[in-house]
Amino acid sequence: MNFLDFSIIAIYFGIILWIAKWASSKKDNSEFSSVDYFLAGKNQGWLVIGASLFASNIGSEIILGVSGAGARADMPMANFEILASLVLILFGWVFVPFYLRASIYTMPEFLEKRYSRACRNYLSVVSILAYIITKISLIIFAGALVFEVLGIPFWTGAIITVIATGLYTVLGGLKAVIYTDMVQAVILILGTVAVAIFGLYQLGGWSGMIETLSMASLEAGNPSVDQFFNLWRPKEDSDYPWTGILFGAPILGVWYWCTDQYIVQRALSAKDVSNARKGALFAGYLKLLPVFLFFIPGVIAYALLQKGIIDFSLEDADQALPALITQVMPSGLKGLAIAGLLAALMSSLSSAFNSSSTLLTIDFYQKYRPDASEKDLVRFGRLATVILVVLSLGWIPFMDALMGGGIFHYLQSIQAYISPPITAVFLLGLFFKWINARGAIVTLWLGFAIGLLRLVLEFMSNNQNITVDPNGFLAYFLDINFLHFALFLFLFCSVVLMAVSKMGQPQPPESLALVTFQRKTVSTPFRFSTDVVLTIVLVVLVLILWWVFSPLGIG
């Protein structure tokens, strides 16, 4: 790092702080209202929403995790990014109209309108816990790793990460978050494109990289070239079987992209349904980029490691991209690439801060203090952010015990244990009016208990705190692939949801008018609108990617 690199990073921070200051101020100098602070005034367009969806999702943990997967030849991980494009179509066409029509601030608030107060409390608590163990702490952890590579101690980097991001999040709310997200998305893309181009240049282009991979594959234990560029593995694979990818991963995707406050809050800020849907589709197109922006640079880093140009441990492959940036990037481009990592880190962390503070404020504080003023709500939202930061920092020491397969594997496996019951309750509740509140709450708590049991047993097994009989039920329970586990748990929760609901009475039809599908008395003719065309093109692009990175396409 030299003066030019630090200058580029300083310019990045200057731009972000200026945008945050602009977004945090009001022309009439009035106080922020809760709509301003938590939903950015509900007047945002599709471009801002789509960029914010992408930038919020692509944090340092995604970049380091996916690039680490590239270095380990774990390309099936990239399917999570590609599948997100299809799930975002579902989000834009199915979920968004209900959310905006119900005029909600939070996802738990929607569950209360569809089911009951108890369901709202459940989702509020579980969501906040999920933010601590799968979002905020993981983002801080990954950001600290980036600083560690730059020579800054881990905990110093973690604290810098929190302070730098929390400053503009606390002051400006969602508007500051989504507008900085839009700029950070551009910086992130430019930075990672620069890394990929320069890394390939060091290898002599794409053909040089393939030649290096081919030579390395001749050594015992090294993956073949096909392994690096194959999205699909046999159903017997212990990590990413194709059955788990196609049928289990979408369950995680629906929970994350369609029902999670962290993501949905961006769509709730839209001026109308059309802008929210277009924003979701735009984000779907952007989600096709990680394969090229993050996974391929991980493969490049592996090839450079084989040639002795850079040095990092494949046992800690999540360090692949930082090693590539710090060891081979020239001055100027190194600063741009690091600014891109910082942009990813800050955008996702600020989104997690804002979403979690929204849940605490709207779903708890406002309920227990219904007479609270707008100023009180905003003040509590800022305080809630500080509290969650402290809790997240406290969870970080426990993460190592669960992170044997890398950051991205940790993230997806945790989500596989908590998402199935929530996905079942949201998805089936939209389509079947007879599903009631009793069925929902039983399903949520039973599914949570089973998922928590798997998580605890896995934690204890990894730390050798328990010895499991290899022929017993617990061994079978622990051996189920996490994606297959998500599928089985979703099917089980769906059966429980329908069975318990059938034993009770359906809810009053008038209470479901805004939160379930209604039978139309007059059919409207289908027409090829812009949204329909964008959807079809996006589906075609996903199918092309799946074919290109399959044994048939590779061959």
Q: What is the pTM of this model?
A: 0.86
Between CA 168 and CA 349 the distance in angstroms is 11
CB distance 50 to 286 below 8 Å: yes
Q: What CA–CA distance (Å, rounded) separates 112 from 442?
A: 15
498: which residues sit within 8 A by CB, 6+ positions away?
A: 428, 432, 435, 439
Residue 545 tokens read as 């990617």
Of the pLDDT bands very low, low, confident and very high (cuts 50, 70, 90), residue 288 is: very high
Half-sphere exposure of 290 (CA within 13 A, CB side): 32
3-state secondary structure of 270: strand
For residues 239-273, one letter each, b for 16 or more C-beta atoms within 10 angstroms of the residue's C-beta and e for the rest, the string is ebbbbbbbbbbbbbbbbbbbbbbbbbbbbbbbeeb
Q: What is the pLDDT of residue 212?
A: 92
In this predicted structure, what is the pLDDT of residue 513? Answer: 85
For residue 270, the cross-strand partners are 44
pLDDT greater at residue 90 or residue 376: 90
Residue 33 — very low, low, confident or very high, per pLDDT cuts 50/70/90? low
Structural domain boundaries in the chain: 3-517+527-554
SS3 245: helix
Alpha-carbon distance values, 7 to 3, 137, 151, 182, 333 (Å): 6, 29, 18, 21, 12
| The CATH classification of domain 3-517+527-554, taken from the options 3.20.20.80, 1.20.1730.10, 1.10.287.1770, 1.25.40.10 | 1.20.1730.10
Average pLDDT on 391-399 reads 66
What's residue 135's pLDDT?
73
Of the candidates 27, 120, 83, the one whose C-alpha atom is nearest the C-alpha of residue 422 is: 120
pLDDT over threshold 70, residue 44: yes
Whole-number Å distance between alpha carbons of 77 and 65: 9
C-beta of residue 116 within 8 angstroms of C-beta of residue 104 = no
Per the prediction, the chain carries an average pLDDT of: 84
Residue-level pLDDT at 58: 82
What pLDDT was estimated at residue 378? 80
pLDDT of residue 401: 53
pLDDT at 31: 61
User: pLDDT (tens digit, 9 = 90+) per residue, 454-512?
Assistant: 888 877 776 666 676 677 777 778 888 889 999 999 999 999 999 999 998 888 888 88
